[in-house]
Structure 1
Amino acid sequence: MSAPFVARHIGADAAAQRRMLDALGYDSVESLVQAAVPASIHVRERATTAIPAAASEAETLDELRRLASGNRPARAMIGLGYYDTFTPSVISRNVLENPSWYTAYTPYQPEISQGRLEALINFQTMVSDLAGLPTANASMLDEATAAVEGMLLARRASKSRSDVFMVDADTLPQTKAVLEHRAAAVGVRLEYTDFGSLDAPVEAFGALIQYPGASGRVWDPTEAIGAVQLGGGVVVVAADLLALTLLRSPGSLGADVVVGTTQRFGVPLGFGGPHAGYMAVRAGLERQLPGRLVGVSQDAAGHPAYRLSLQTREQHIRREKATSNICTAQVLLAVMAAMYAVYHGAEGLRAIAADVSGKADALSQALRAFGLSTASEAFFDTIRVTTPGPAGRVIDRARELGYQLLWVDDATVGVSVDETTTARDLAAVAAAFGLPVSEELSLEAAVPLRGVHEGMLRSDEFLTHPVFSDHRSETAMMRYLKRLADRDYALDRGMIPLGSCTMKLNAATEMAAVTWPEFARVHPFAPEADVRGYLELVEQLETWLAEMTGYDEVSLQPNAGSQGELAGLMAIRGFHRANGEEGRVVCLIPSSAHGTNAASAVLAGMRVVVVACDEAGNVDLGDLRAKIAVHADELAALMITYPSTHGVYEHDVLDITGAVHDAGGQVYVDGANLNALLGYARFGDLGGDVSHLNLHKTFAIPHGGGGPGVGPVAAKAHLAPYLPSHPFAQRKASYGADGGPVSAAPHGSAGILPISWAYVRMMGAAGLREATGAAVLSANYLAARLRAHYPVLYTGENGLVAHECILDLRPLREQTGVSVDDVAKRLVDYGFHAPTMSFPVAGTLMIEPTESEDLAELERFVEAMIAIKAEALAVAAGEWPATDNPLVNAPHTAESAIAAEWQHPYSRELAVYPVRSLIRSKYWPPVRRIDQAYGDRNLVCSCPPVEAFA
């Protein structure tokens, strides 16, 4: 019989755990964790649980098949920014289903991330070319949140002092809803505007124009853009990238910023996500871009090399002064969208767009010939049809035929065509409107963009870089994707021991259902009767998460941890305002907190006050009480991470939360470190009122090279009414009645929820507790093994750490001159991704081994760290010069190792094979150490010419 999944998920078996426990002096994992976690917060035994006993992998897949069968197959023609699409099989197999791509981490160590960084440069180039603006970032979370970020950028960059942001009346409704919720918190007034009749000049700091409009209308916004800019405003255009292959780019029309989604570029619908949003800006706004920006720099040998540029992770640097709380990107989905463009090229994309627009025209002409009227003469892929009778009758007939159309109002139905639409589909839709048609609608007389003025047609070239034309055959495409993957380091190569980030096993069974069409090809606004399977999965997962965290309600809508933070703080804001306490705006945040905490608080309309930490890394209770006394009448919330960002279980947590509650504040417990607590304590029992959870950390969703993530928000009953709502939610739940949306789709990145559902289902409550114990055991074992070589900066009760430990490398630098950067880059030569560098303390490494790694891998890491310490001491002893040694020259490439003249004072073998175990399984970094400052001084954020790599 096959081993239980828990035994496959946890890396160290019983014998290995016994050896580790003996080294620590504990008789069991249970006794170790009980000694580490303060007794005052230990979870009480519950007589019943909503979490079922662990299922086998086969049983889990069978249950997922049953849930999938609850989603009624239907062709979604609802539109509103979401379209069915064909994912080329070569991309599905070699990117979406490939652990070399989906288990990689955010490219903060660029020397071992060159593959995904090149893919993201492709993405940025694709967006920049189509948008007609010089610089695009490495993706946004979705179109609605990208529009919000565009609004915030406009306010920062505008010369106008107005608090008004004008919004196109023809904007996507979900974008309007997210804008409304977010604008209210930061004092922005939205004015809905018909830009076709705009008088100049206008008093507004910016404007958002939808192009084409939500109704499908295509028009020339040039005059409207100019009118807003004349008054000092910044214009954001939300554009459909596929339409931009045929229509003039927003940049050519004068737009300052262009936002949108790349979903229809080969990324499955997934009931709303995950998808890669995008943002591009005109010259002069590059340094205002939120999120990540990939740029080109050079390595130590002068070769071109990619790296993250400019303000990446600005939240951790600027904290409450950050301009955005976005610290992630949708990397895996951005890679898919970019590769879709690489696969099709400019000619292929134009052909797809022309086919889509032609089919929309054929349907429109048939309906008009039948006597029905459409809202616009000029459109790309979407038409709004006036019905002779109730619109609901047409919608129902379409559903009977297997099609989902958009109900606009009682007399109007919307139809959107995509690349999967066939002539047979068009005939069925025509029949739903009452047309007597044959099995297929004739396309012979179809004219793409029939009613669009000639001056609005695109005439300039795009995607001219060779990468978009050199990989036409499947062989070439497969090899290109393999070549990029080989340049990266992911979990399929070895341990990624990142503190604060939890790079654990993403099991194949958990991933299996993501690409099933019953989950992948579902529109987020499909009617309830067509998505009962999805809704059952969502509700089960929400129930399980609520129980595990000690809360009453959970919303899965936030599609990143940062958005979960924001949603929780917005709930606190809503609660205080409902109680007539609008003056409660102060958010207390410990100095050790994740940088996004402060940024999220500011975006929720709060004022940040920093609370000091003591020498042990705990919140300074005296300083907390002093700050509460000063701000008692203004206190909105405390944000606290538990276990702390320093990797310890704070003993005084109940005193901390009690002091805040006594002053009328709410407690936000950041759930980033839940994987060190699950099964042993619950946030709700610590005094937490609301938390976000990172499903991409604790619940096994892969990081995907820097995204996707899911950051659900959980709350006690009194805050539940202020959790995220959504205008298109299929079920109006008890929570969210007084909240607002934080994502474009009702359930955020629902397409990857089957991963976490499967993880919980196969682990069961007991298995989840075992995983926590194994993670804490591994972290304490590494701390114990390395303590003699590197000081462990913080410990909690009984000298123990939580799921991660911080090694202090500052004494090493003082003694040897070797920096934390040198150690991190040298670890690459030993076959490891470096731990988290200089966070939360400069000059340190934060290490988290996770429960997934076996003892052999932990020992390999210990061996590497001890050997690196010896190398540093050799530098201090004068065996190698401070400017020429294996550490400062790391990492070493194959090219450097075979150089004709080896001029270094250490051997080639020591450079590239510092331990013999690497000889048969060496990871070769493709570039040497990258010059970060050079890249910032010489900003290049699109595909460099091929000659640069000669």
Structure 2
Amino acid sequence: MRTDLFASRHIGIKKEDYKHMLQSIGVANLEQLIYETIPDDIRLKQDLQLSPAMSEHEFLNHLEALSNKNKVFKSYIGLGYHESLIPSVIKRNILENPGWYTAYTPYQAEIAQGRLEALLNFQTVVCDLTAMEIANASLLDESTAAAEAMTMLFDVRSRAQKKANILKFFVSEEVLPQTLSLLQTRSTPLGIELVIGNHEEFTFTNDFFGVLLQYPGKYGQVHNFDSFVSKANENDIKVAVAADILSLTLLKPPGEFGVDVVVGTTQRFGIPLGYGGPHAAFFATKEAYKRNIPGRIIGITKDTDGKQALRMALQTREQHIKRDKATSNICTAQVLLAVMAGMYAVYHGPEGLKYIANKIHAAAVTLATNLEQLGYKQLNTSFFDTITIKAESAVIKPLAEQKEINFYYIDANTISISLNESVSVADVETIATIFSEAKENKTIQITSFTDKKEIDQELQRSSTFLENPVFNSYHSETELMRYIKKLERKDLALNHSMISLGSCTMKLNAATQMLPLSSNQWGNVHPFAPVEQAEGYQIVLKELENDLSTITGFAATSLQPNSGAQGEYAGLMAIRAYHESNGDTNRNICIIPASAHGTNPASAVMAGMKVIVSKTDERGNIDVADLEEKVKLHSENLSALMVTYPSTHGVFESSIKQITKLIHDHGGQVYMDGANMNAQVGLTNPATIGADVCHLNLHKTFAIPHGGGGPGVGPICVAKQLVPFLPSNPVIKTGGSKAITAISGAPWGSSLVCLISYSYIKMLGEKGLKQSTITAILNANYIKSRLSSGFDVLYTGEKGRAAHEMIIDCRPFKQNGIEVTDIAKRLMDYGFHAPTVSFPVAGTLMIEPTESESLPELDRFCDAMLSIRQEIEEAYSENKDNVLKNAPHTLEMVTNDNWNFEYSRQKAAFPLDFVKENKFWPSVRRVDDAYGDRNLICSCIPIEAYAEA
């Protein structure tokens, strides 16, 4: 084995394993397997033109050299992004810990109690600081959260407003520029009319359904919105506020004004700038809107024994159920970042957060006072951390950059300065010196911060927050380290065993790929810093765009979408803009196969399209005759086809080129969902099958870790005709010549984690990428072969092969009382996370092993599944209390003095020998989802209150 070859570390199958695996599958060699899996007419005829693979050592040196090209200035730009200090205990034990960053979304609650508790903490922080009743478990960024607020308020309009077709939404001119751009993107397809202006001049007429305010405003002014909100409520106009969460430790919270929604970002709570992300947004609202809130909510319930347990609440809101009726296409959250932000609040507690906020405010007041003494005019009458100065930008800018400092230059004579947690007395003195030198004055001295406040008395917070014990117990590093570890032990992640989730591609997130995320040279660059200061980032991002374009066969790539669902939406908006540029404004029909990913229909509706569902045939493939009928029927208005390839059923459909030609012949564009790209890279690509645009899940195929439900990145790759419409940003120019407005807040989305995918491609190179794809297909077909004695595979290709994933049918067991859920829960006792349950077909499991698992691990999983199959047979005969229905079995249950089951403790806890060597104990028994939804509790409360509920 070549020890310097990353592919040999990433790919889990050894050379000597191939013969056994191929024999089991029934093929002579890998070439035969791929020939029988992928239609020959879509195979690539030449290798991808990518740079040669680097060793891990070479790559780390390469990336360090690039990082040194970034000029990490002190950025006081603000606009929703601020330098934050990451407590080392959180950095080491969460950000750098695979026990946290390799976990999956907590759909299987019994093996995700630690993450769920951390997210409940996050929701509590948001509820307490905003003074709202309910909050979700994070969204993608502040701008997308504000857009979600607008669409939610649009959705909950009163019956009279809907009848009167009230479409106007007022946006304060003090809203962040990137948020305004995103509101423009989201409002247009839905027919919402944005009205932008000064909130103090707003006329409360009955043709508005909602408003969005910024608190504090983008340049720092803190307004008193009490009377505004009262008038809005009187006129049945709902109010959303985008708020700075740290400021709410000192400012009166928006919930106390009577607003309907509060959104923002928690980036200030110990999350690196990362040139734009990832950062966890928050969304808080009234309990009345609990069934309309976008994203996920963590709620408290009980398990089989009545013990308190956590799970994702109200899951029927999710787009997988509602499809084209969904109010949002939100899928990925920012769980890892939300966990970190919540833990930041746990570590500092209410008094610590107030100390930090007071320090920042004192620094801002000190700076304002000194600049006024120098003769400058400061415009904000009430502020938290940001001051606005009248000064010549052309004079100040070169002096500031000489001292490696960035301000935000509003115009030729106005400068905004936003201070942050890292600011010292010396930093404030340096800033003041710049303005002093501009007037040719001597350097001034500042020796301490003032204790004077510049927040109006009526806007100062008087209510308490974060009184729950969790925020007042772990303020030493020792205690927090142990608390984090306690939660980590309750979660099953990739550092324990294979997570074989179909469509989710839970593969190795190599340590070398993750190391750069801890670097200050990458983590501390402001997204709106001048591009020449981010040369290292610019090289990485442009190279990544080029490599993704090469891999997909397309002309260009945008990295801006910060989740797969955002990528879907961006791709459809580019198609919409393309049709409009051709004068085809009537083209609004989007055809989507019945088997498509749940976010597809929701994205299409958000893009202003009408969804037409096409049938699948008995083999699970697109019914071409039905599709052709629908295409011809809607030919004049056809906008797009959304197709997943290989299909969500794990099959390379041989009719794909016929399908894409059909769409093109009728004037439509083809959108390919990239969820299953792990079966394509190096062997075929979206351009070859005839697609026009695809999104890529970098958190799947390209190895960004799932982080327990995010971060994700969903860039879009487009054909030549769609390049002009790639999305832009209002602060830093990106995108095409006819760019659509913003898809996410930052110019290049979640830039920091793009380093991971850049690493993955550069260290694997063309050969390693291709070998990864082949191995993923090999592993899937090996599992298919091994499980064939106990389970039926629902769909296969024409030659009987699976792609990189397969669906096994568990519906026959239902007649004997065994549900697919019972199998999923029983797998926990064997130390495995369940495959994807009941998607895309109810009553099935979708299995995807990925390329990074070893043969022994594949065999352990197969042994577990076949053992469960035998247990199903036993359950048929016993049919009383069986091991499947009682799964999972906790340590407390197995060691209890009372054991009233007909099977043994050993069978419950150690069903196969390998389990004894590496036992994972679920921390609760099976959770009761229905009870939790009937008694919705979504923030930390005393145990007594839970018992009463």
TM-score, length-scaled by structure 1: 0.97
In structure 2, what residue type is equivalent to 1:868? I
Partner of 1:116: 115
- State the shift of 1:66 in Å: 1.3
- Is the contact made by 1:642 and 1:673 (CA closer than 8 Å) also made in structure 2? yes
Q: Do the aligned partners of residues 811 and 507 (structure 1) sit closer, same or farther apart at CA in structure 2, a change above 3 Å counting?
A: same
Partner of 1:823: 823
Partner of 2:104: 105
- Is the contact made by 1:76 and 1:405 (CA closer than 8 Å) also made in structure 2? yes
In structure 2, what residue type is equivalent to 1:754? L
In structure 2, what residue type is equivalent to 1:474? E
Which of the numbers 439, 448, 461 marks the counterpart of 1:443? 448
Partner of 2:52: 53
Which of the numbers 929, 934, 941 marks the counterpart of 1:937? 934
Which of the numbers 229, 234, 239 marks the counterpart of 1:230? 234
Q: Do the aligned partners of residues 578 and 444 (structure 1) sit closer, same or farther apart at CA in structure 2, a change above 3 Å counting?
A: closer
Partner of 1:881: 879
Q: Report the 3-state secondary structure (helix = DSSP H, G, I; strand = E; otherwise coil) of the residue aligned with 1:509.
A: helix
- State the shift of 1:557 in Å: 0.4
- State the shift of 1:476 in Å: 0.4
Q: Deviations over 1:693-750 (max 9, x none)?
A: 0000000000000000000001011111111111222x555x2633111000001000
Alignment partners' CA distance in 2, 1:874 and 1:71: 63
Which of the numbers 508, 527, 530 marks the counterpart of 2:530? 527
- State the shift of 1:433 in Å: 1.8
Aligned 1:542-941 pairs, distance under 5 A: 542-729=545-732, 732=734, 735=736, 737-814=738-815, 816-877=816-877, 880-882=878-880, 884-941=881-938
- Is the contact made by 2:432 and 2:444 (CA closer than 8 Å) also made in structure 1? no
Residue identity (%): 48
- State the shift of 1:28 in Å: 2.3
Matched, 1:27 2:28: yes
Alignment partners' CA distance in 2, 1:76 and 1:437: 24
Aligned 1:120-159 pairs, distance under 5 A: 120-159=119-158
Q: Deviations over 1:571-596 (max 9, x none)?
A: 00000011111100000000000010
Q: Do the aligned partners of residues 30 and 392 (structure 1) sit closer, same or farther apart at CA in structure 2, a change above 3 Å counting?
A: farther
- State the shift of 1:34 in Å: 2.1
- State the shift of 1:215 in Å: 1.3
Q: Deviations over 1:837-863 (max 9, x none)?
A: 000000000000111111111111111
Q: Report the 3-state secondary structure (helix = DSSP H, G, I; strand = E; otherwise coil) of the residue aligned with 1:105.
A: coil
Q: Deviations over 1:527-565 (max 9, x none)?
A: 011001101100000000000001000000000000000
- State the shift of 1:311 in Å: 3.6
- Is the contact made by 2:251 and 2:459 (CA closer than 8 Å) also made in structure 1? yes
Partner of 2:401: 399
Q: Deviations over 1:852-907 (max 9, x none)?
A: 11111111111111111111111112xx334x110000000011111212111111
- State the shift of 1:226 in Å: 2.1
- Is the contact made by 2:734 and 2:747 (CA closer than 8 Å) also made in structure 1? no
Q: Report the 3-state secondary structure (helix = DSSP H, G, I; strand = E; otherwise coil) of the residue aligned with 1:610.
A: strand
Count of residues paired in the alignment: 938
- Is the contact made by 1:424 and 1:439 (CA closer than 8 Å) also made in structure 2? no
Partner of 1:359: 363
In structure 2, what residue type is equivalent to 1:661? H
Aligned 1:139-218 pairs, distance under 5 A: 139-159=138-158, 160=161, 161-218=165-222
Q: Do the aligned partners of residues 906 and 444 (structure 1) sit closer, same or farther apart at CA in structure 2, a change above 3 Å counting?
A: closer
- Is the contact made by 1:250 and 1:258 (CA closer than 8 Å) also made in structure 2? yes
Alignment partners' CA distance in 2, 1:761 and 1:528: 23
Partner of 1:303: 307
5+ residue gaps, structure 1, are none
- State the shift of 1:123 in Å: 0.2
Alignment partners' CA distance in 2, 1:804 and 1:550: 23
Q: Deviations over 1:339-359 (max 9, x none)?
A: 000000000000100100110
- Is the contact made by 1:725 and 1:737 (CA closer than 8 Å) also made in structure 2? no
Alignment partners' CA distance in 1, 2:622 and 2:122: 42
In structure 2, what residue type is equivalent to 1:875? A
Q: Deviations over 1:181-201 (max 9, x none)?
A: 111121111101211233434
- State the shift of 1:313 in Å: 6.2
Matched, 1:251 2:255: yes
Aligned 1:436-515 pairs, distance under 5 A: 436=441, 438=443, 441-448=446-453, 450=454, 452-515=455-518
Q: Report the 3-state secondary structure (helix = DSSP H, G, I; strand = E; otherwise coil) of the residue aligned with 2:436.
A: coil
Q: Do the aligned partners of residues 287 and 887 (structure 1) sit closer, same or farther apart at CA in structure 2, a change above 3 Å counting?
A: same
Q: Deviations over 1:663-720 (max 9, x none)?
A: 0000001111000011000101111100100000000000000000000001011111
- Is the contact made by 1:725 and 1:736 (CA closer than 8 Å) also made in structure 2? no
Alignment partners' CA distance in 2, 1:890 and 1:686: 44
Which of the numbers 220, 223, 229 marks the counterpart of 2:224? 220
- State the shift of 1:486 in Å: 0.2
Q: Deviations over 1:816-840 (max 9, x none)?
A: 3211000000000011000000000
- Is the contact made by 1:101 and 1:490 (CA closer than 8 Å) also made in structure 2? yes
- Is the contact made by 1:722 and 1:739 (CA closer than 8 Å) also made in structure 2? yes
5+ residue gaps, structure 2, are none
Matched, 1:314 2:318: yes
In structure 1, what residue type is equivalent to 2:326? A
Q: Deviations over 1:492-511 (max 9, x none)?
A: 00000000100000000000
In structure 2, what residue type is equivalent to 1:355? K
Alignment partners' CA distance in 1, 2:352 and 2:609: 48
RMSD of aligned residue pairs (Cα, Å)? 1.3
- State the shift of 1:437 in Å: 5.9
Alignment partners' CA distance in 1, 2:862 and 2:203: 69
Q: Report the 3-state secondary structure (helix = DSSP H, G, I; strand = E; otherwise coil) of the residue aligned with 1:295.
A: strand
Alignment partners' CA distance in 1, 2:738 and 2:474: 50
Alignment partners' CA distance in 2, 1:490 and 1:434: 55
- Is the contact made by 2:505 and 2:850 (CA closer than 8 Å) also made in structure 1? yes
Q: Do the aligned partners of residues 6 and 97 (structure 1) sit closer, same or farther apart at CA in structure 2, a change above 3 Å counting?
A: same
- State the shift of 1:213 in Å: 0.4
Q: Deviations over 1:270-306 (max 9, x none)?
A: 0000000000001311111000000001000000000
- Is the contact made by 1:427 and 1:437 (CA closer than 8 Å) also made in structure 2? no
Alignment partners' CA distance in 2, 1:313 and 1:771: 36
